[in-house]
Homo-oligomer: A and B are copies of this chain.
Amino acid sequence: MAATLVRQSGSEELPAPAYVVLGMIRLGCRSGYEIKQAVEISIRFFWTISHAQIYPSLALLEERGLVRGRDEPRGRRRRRVFDISERGEQELERWLRQAQPIPFELRDIGLVKLFFADALPEDDALRLVRAVAERSRERVETLRSVEAEAEQVEQDGNVYPMLTLRIGIAFHQAMVNACREFEAR
Which B residues touch A118, using CB under 8 A? Answer: 157-161
Any chain B CB within 8 A of the CB of A59?
no
Any chain B CB within 8 A of the CB of A96?
yes
Measured in the bound complex, the distance between the Cα atoms of B118 and A108 in whole Å is 30
Measured in the bound complex, the distance between the Cα atoms of B95 and A115 in whole Å is 13
Any chain B CB within 8 A of the CB of A60?
no
Contact of A120 among B97, B117, B128, B167 (CB under 8 A): B97
Closest CB in chain B relative to A10 CB, distance in Å: 21
B132 touches A46 (CB 8 A): no
Interface residues of A (CB under 8 A from B): 16, 19-20, 23, 26-27, 42-43, 45-48, 89, 92-93, 95-97, 99, 102-120, 124-125, 128-129, 131-132, 135-136, 139, 157-161, 163-164, 166-167, 170-175, 177-179, 181-182
Closest 7 CB pairs of A and B: A102-B110, A174-B174, A171-B171, A23-B116, A170-B174, A117-B160, A46-B111
